[in-house]
Amino acid sequence: QVQLVESGGGLVQAGGSLRLSCAASGRTFSTLAMGWFRQAPGKEREFVTVISSSGSNIYYTDSVKGRFTISRDNAKNTVYLQMNSLKPEDTAVYYCAARHAIVAVTPNLYDYWGQGTQVTVSS
């Protein structure tokens, strides 16, 4: 099993930055594709970005391209999400997720989930 714990969320004004971290307690982190999803109040969970196990394949949803950057450090069992130029519409609970397969963009294809970290962007 894989345990995921997100951190780094908080309050920020529009245009500001936050860096989220997701720490994994399992022994197979380097074999996992890792994704970030977010869920705003009253809305379905949506894909944000994903990175392959090696870090060689990365995908972003259009709304965050050029602003968000995903990275991973397999030696530390950690994946990061650097969020710059934040907008109020980025406000959501951000979830880290993992799967024992190639990268995917749909939430139900992921095997493990963190508890989420709140990101609130004020205008």
pLDDT at 105: 95
State the chain's mean pLDDT as an integer.
Answer: 96
Q: In the numeric block, which tokens belong to residue 21?
A: 């971290």
Which residue intervals of 3-97 are DSSP H helices? none
pLDDT at 1: 85
pLDDT at 48: 98
pLDDT at 27 exceeding the cut of 90 = no
Q: Among residues 67, 29, 58, 60, which one has the least CA distance to residue 46? A: 60
Please, which residues have CB within 8 angstroms of residue 1's CB and are 6 or more apart in sequence? 26, 112
Q: pLDDT grade, residue 86 (50/70/90)? A: very high
